[in-house]
Amino acid sequence: MIYKINLRVFKYLGYLGAFGLGFLQVIVFSANKVSAQNIVPDNTLGNENSIVVPLDSNGLPIDAISGGAIRGKNLFHSFQEFNVGQGRGTYFLNTNNNLENILTRVTGNNPSNILGTIGILNTPRITSNPNLFLINPNGIVFGENARLDVQGSFTATTASRIKLGEQEFFNATEPEKSNLLSINPSALFFNQVTSQTRNIVNRGNLTRARDLTLAADNLDLQGQLITSGDLKLQANNAIEIKNLVGLSNNVNILGRSLTIRDRSSIGVIATQNNVGRISVKVDDFVNLDGSFIESLVTGNSIGNGDISIEGDSVSLSSDSQINTAVFRDGKAGNIFIKTDNFVSLVGNPSPNPSITTSSTGIFSRLERGNIGKSGDITINTDSLSLSGGQISASTFGEGNAGNVNIQADNSVSLLNQSIIFSSVGSGAIGDGGEVNIKTGNFSSKDGSQLLAIIRGPSVNDSTLENRNAGNINLEVLDTAIISGKPLERDNLTGIDRIGGIATAVDQRATGNGGSINIKAGELFLTDFAQIASSLDRAATGKAGNIKIEVGSLSLNNKAQIGSPTLGRGNAGKIFVQADNSISINDSGILSTVEAGAKGNGGEINITANSLSLSKGAQLLSLVGEALNTLPGGEGDAGNINVDIRDTLTLDGIAEGVRGGFIRSGIGSSVRQGGVGTGGEINIKAGSLFIKNGASLDSSTTADQKAGNININLRKILQAENGRITTTSEKSFGGLVNIIADDIRFLGNSDIRTNVFSGEGGGGNINLTADTIIALDDSDILSFAEDGKGGDITFNTEGFFSSSQFLPVSAIANPEDLDRNDRPDINASGTVSGNITGIPDTTFIQNSLNELPENQIDTNALISQTCIARSNDTGSTFNITGSSGFPHSPGNADISNYPTNQVRGVPKTTSGNWKKGDPIIEPDGVYRLPDGKIVLAHKCP
């Protein structure tokens, strides 16, 4: 308890200073009989020894301490024993207005037990408030009823000595080496040689000091430490906190380790001016078990109360939190955590990432109804791990959210639905902060997330302000692994709780989604994981872009990279660049305009050395179909641009979620009920392989045209039971333009451009290659039900395997030409399209014979001369005799002119070709009059 000293006591104390030394010694002798077990002065100060006077104040016993050695603004006391009994008070008398410090040491061998009140008592007309130092190298224990009645600062320490000036000390273990100076005390020095453990234990409530310092080998803080000034806790070894520590000013903690448990807290709460800062520096670990470190802005304070923690490791568990928050106007403090080893957060997953009251985590928040800014969170460590934990910088008021910055040299691991996010809460006015992570290896599993989100308004919010979600920037030097969890979709966003990396504009919110930027050596997405930027249902704004730069990328088991818009605004663009390979299995990269949305799909841009899509994997740009009461999406599908240095492979099909099957491939589609133009598919690659049901497809069911498909290859296009199609329900079919060295269609492989109704024409098909070969049941079809069939142009001569092959432009159902075991070329419509560039091979149709078993003389297959084509019929030569009668043998007239010997026609021979002769290559296959087929060239 705090004692109130009555006026008679003051008068009595004043008399003490007026009597001689002899009387004073009598008083001291009497006093020592009463308090010998509590306070015993020593003789180290000579005739300036401390004096203990027992007094009674309204029935309450107190010990008044006078005497001591005054040196300028310092008063020194020295005791053999120093204890404050239960229910008693001990007060140091201040009789000097110039006094600034009262320094008290214990030179004996026993610890001090402070079970009552310790304070400073000013005599009449004294107004100074000196600081009090209690030094006992043997230890200090504050009991449950211990109290401080000190208007100045209070320091309790088990140090051996206190430094005075540059070289002098007030020494408790070697008092004879002390120099009593008027200089302010500074550093504390501990005897490192002794094996004795020197602890301070607090079980009481120490609440009255301006500044409070506790320094010992170990600090066991079971009671409250609440100050109106700075709090400093210093330990050579461990600090353990089991109750409330701090209040309004700075908190500085130095030690080997710090443990906070049992719902305890270190906190600074400001009601005026700047809130204090919390600084923790330890050599070993900081461990929070069900406890808190907090800096809170309330009242009329400004804020800026930073929390800084340094150590070898930091661990939070059992709903422990490190918080900075603004509950009034002001700025929340920043949080800095720096460790040499690791930072670990272990808790239970929160059902809602906006709720932090029951989550293990690190948070900075601007609360609802306040003006200011939340603070930044910065973590520098070797490894960061979260299991059911959260790290968040958010705004729920009027002001921006802070950034989350993480530098982990070795790894960042998120498990058990952990989340690192920056959010703009419901009703908030401001922008979200960035989430920046740089690490050696990154893993996110079990539905964990990186998230930047703008929440939608609550029911009571009357205005919708335009806001921006923060960006997410992830840089991984080695490997990033992201696996999801097939959970039900959260109502907050279409992607919450699935797992992955996301930026989102929430339902009914207004604003722009943040961008996602990822750099990694290798990136693996699996098990429903998502990297997504979305504009949610009834939201207004636009989704952010996604940019991924990696050495290699792998997507498996329904993983997705996507940018959907479900509201009013455009989907984001997607850029993926891989130095090596991209492998997508049963997964996809998508840009979609969903049902009920109005906006354009974003582009998908893929650059890699090789790209493989299998088991139903897709690159898809989509305008969605009508769904329940929602109309189809309204907007243009985005273009898909693929640039592959080596090989692009599309392979296989997979079962659909709702039945049917999904083709592996690349597609741009406007679905039933959607309104918009199909996007273009532009492919550049070394080689393209489409097989086992895979496809390239551009389609629309709307009145607009289907997108074009443009393929430019440096080597081969080979389709084996694959297809390339553009389809429009009512408008124009998209074009198909293919350039390659070689084009091969095997099995049931098709190129189709279709228009099923309306006057739009089927898209043109242009093929340019050195060779074009279509075998088996491969077809090239351009069909328009009510319009003109598209033109089909071969910019080289093609070879088609079936003897039944015949290019036609008659109206036909293209389905009738499928699975007829022959290649077909058809440009059908109300007005047929043109088919050009097909060689005339009708002369060899139905004339193929089985090859003989004997060897063929290849020289006989090559003509030695050029071929002169002639379609003229044979002529006649008639000789008419006299009187119109023909000559007969023996009655021919004798010629009037002599005849000589007729020279015969010389026989010409051509020698075999020899080196140096010109080479004239055959330009075709020709059939001679005798039926032989030879390779030759046409005569000029």
Averaged pLDDT of the chain: 82
Instruction: Please give the average per-residue pLDDT across 741-761, as a whole number.
Output: 80
Q: With pLDDT > 70 as the criterion, what percentage of the chain qualifies? A: 75
| Cβ count within 10 A of residue 777 | 22
The kind and range of the H/E element at 278 are: strand 278-282
Q: How far is it, in rounded angstroms, from Cα 177 to Cα 464? A: 73
Tokens describing residue 896: 């009037």
Choosing from 299, 333, 367, the residue where a domain stops is 333
Q: Alpha carbon of 30 to those of 27, 241, 444: distances in Å?
A: 5, 41, 74
Three-state SS string over 214-247 comes to EEECEEEECCEECCCCCEEEEECCEEEECCEECC
Q: Angle 604-606-612 (CA atoms, 0-180°, nearest 5)?
A: 115
Choosing from 136, 171, 197, the residue where a domain stops is 197
Q: Are both 143 and 214 inside the same structural domain? A: no
Candidates 111, 280, 259, 261; CA nearest to 199 is 111
Q: What pLDDT sits at residue 900?
A: 52
Q: Does residue 808 surpass a pLDDT of 60?
A: no
Instruction: Please give the average per-residue pLDDT across 583-588, as a whole number.
Output: 97
- Alpha carbon 615 to its chain centroid, in Å, reads 27
In-domain check, residue 217: yes
Summarised one tens digit per residue, pLDDT across range 625-663 is: 888 889 999 999 999 999 999 999 999 999 876 677 899
Task: Report long-range pairs for 172-176 (Cβ below 8 Å, ≥24 apart).
Answer: 172/105, 172/106, 172/107, 172/135, 172/136, 172/137, 173/107, 173/137, 175/42, 175/44, 175/78, 175/105, 175/107, 176/44
DSSP-derived letter for residue 680 is P
Q: Does residue 7 surpass a pLDDT of 50?
A: no
DSSP-derived letter for residue 172 is S
Look at the chain and count its residues.
940
Q: What pLDDT sits at residue 32?
A: 41
Cβ atoms 216, 200 nearer than 8 A: yes
Q: What pLDDT sits at residue 235?
A: 93
Q: How far is it, in rounded angstroms, from Cα 605 to Cα 649? A: 17
Summarised one tens digit per residue, pLDDT across range 251-263 is: 999 999 999 998 8
Summarised one tens digit per residue, pLDDT across range 691-703 is: 999 999 988 876 7
Q: Are both 169 and 86 inside the same structural domain? A: yes
Q: Are both 220 and 129 inside the same structural domain? A: no
Could you tell me the sign of the dihedral formed by the alpha carbons of 17, 20, 25, 30, in that order?
A: negative
Instruction: Please give the average per-residue pLDDT across 89-97, as a whole number.
Output: 93
Cβ atoms 270, 296 nearer than 8 A: yes
| Cβ count within 10 A of residue 561 | 29
Q: How far is it, in rounded angstroms, from Cα 619 to Cα 611? A: 11
Q: What pLDDT sits at residue 18?
A: 36
CB-count exposure of residue 792 (10 Å: 0-12, 13-18, 19+): buried
| Cβ count within 10 A of residue 27 | 16
Q: What pLDDT sits at residue 313?
A: 98
Q: Are both 258 and 307 inside the same structural domain? A: yes
In-domain check, residue 45: yes
Those residues whose C-beta lies under 8 Å from the C-beta of residue 397, and which sit 6 or more positions away, are 326, 366, 367, 368, 369, 370, 371, 372, 428, 429, 430
Helix (H, G, I), strand (E, B) or coil at 755: strand
Q: What pLDDT sits at residue 702?
A: 67
Q: Are both 239 and 190 inside the same structural domain? A: no
Q: Are both 186 and 209 inside the same structural domain? A: no
Tokens describing residue 341: 């080893």
In-domain check, residue 240: yes
In-domain check, residue 340: no
Helix (H, G, I), strand (E, B) or coil at 38: coil
In-domain check, residue 676: no
Please report the beta strands in 367-434, taking only residues with DSSP state E, as ranges in sequence order.
Answer: 372-373, 377-387, 389-395, 404-415, 419-424
DSSP-derived letter for residue 855 is P
Those residues whose C-beta lies under 8 Å from the C-beta of residue 833, and which sit 6 or more positions away, are 761, 762, 764, 782, 784, 788, 789, 790, 791, 792, 809, 827
Q: Are both 189 and 292 inside the same structural domain? A: no
The region that residue 811 occupies, defined by phi over 0 for left and psi between -120 and 50 for alpha, beta otherwise, is: beta
Q: How far is it, in rounded angstroms, from Cα 872 to Cα 604? A: 62
Q: Are both 276 and 230 inside the same structural domain? A: yes
Choosing from 136, 170, 197, the residue where a domain stops is 197
Q: Are both 206 and 126 inside the same structural domain? A: no
Q: What pLDDT sits at residue 862?
A: 78
Q: Are both 43 and 184 inside the same structural domain? A: yes
Q: Are both 139 and 245 inside the same structural domain? A: no
Q: How far is it, in rounded angstroms, from Cα 563 to Cα 543? A: 7
Helix (H, G, I), strand (E, B) or coil at 856: coil
Cβ atoms 729, 698 nearer than 8 A: no
Q: What pLDDT sits at residue 663?
A: 93
Q: Using 50, 70 and 90 to split pLDDT, how confident is the model at 618?
A: very high
Q: Does residue 901 surpass a pLDDT of 80?
A: no
Instruction: Please give the average per-residue pLDDT across 581-594, as a whole number.
Output: 96
In-domain check, residue 138: yes
Cβ atoms 802, 822 nearer than 8 A: yes
Cβ atoms 470, 436 nearer than 8 A: no
Q: Using 50, 70 and 90 to split pLDDT, how confident is the model at 734?
A: confident
Q: What pLDDT sits at residue 426?
A: 85
In-domain check, residue 824: no
Q: How far is it, in rounded angstroms, from Cα 250 to Cα 278? A: 6
Summarised one tens digit per residue, pLDDT across range 532-542 is: 999 998 899 99
Q: Does residue 97 surpass a pLDDT of 50?
A: yes
Q: Using 50, 70 and 90 to split pLDDT, how confident is the model at 914?
A: low
Q: Alpha carbon of 722 to those of 193, 421, 693, 793: distances in Å?
A: 83, 43, 5, 21
In-domain check, residue 244: yes
Could you tell me the sign of the dihedral formed by the alpha carbons of 172, 177, 183, 188, in that order?
A: negative
Q: What is the dihedral of CA 144, 149, 154, 159, to 10 degrees?
A: -50
Summarised one tens digit per residue, pLDDT across range 310-333 is: 999 999 999 999 999 888 778 889
Tokens describing residue 441: 């290896």
DSSP-derived letter for residue 137 is T
Which residue range forms the structural domain that includes residue 927? 859-865+920-940
Counted domains in the chain: 3
Cβ atoms 439, 410 nearer than 8 A: yes
Range name among 157-171, 173-187, 282-296, 706-720 with the lowest pLDDT average:
173-187
Q: How far is it, in rounded angstroms, from Cα 149 to Cα 207? A: 9
Instruction: Please give the average per-residue pLDDT across 784-797, as a whole number.
Output: 74
Range name among 134-143, 162-171, 399-408, 449-458 with the lowest pLDDT average:
162-171
Helix (H, G, I), strand (E, B) or coil at 858: helix
Summarised one tens digit per residue, pLDDT across range 442-491 is: 999 999 999 999 988 876 665 566 789 999 999 999 999 999 887 554 44
838, amino acid identity:
I
Q: Alpha carbon of 385 to those of 287, 313, 380, 408: distances in Å?
A: 14, 11, 13, 10
CB-count exposure of residue 430 (10 Å: 0-12, 13-18, 19+): buried
Q: Using 50, 70 and 90 to split pLDDT, how confident is the model at 134?
A: very high
Question: What number of helices (H) and strands (E) belong to the chain?
Answer: 2, 80
- Alpha carbon 397 to its chain centroid, in Å, reads 25
Tokens describing residue 16: 């003490």
Instruction: Please give the average per-residue pLDDT across 185-190, as a whole number.
Output: 54
pTM, to two decimals: 0.83
Range name among 213-227, 565-579, 905-919 with the lowest pLDDT average:
905-919
Q: Are both 163 and 274 inside the same structural domain? A: no
- Domain of 52, CATH number, reads 2.160.20
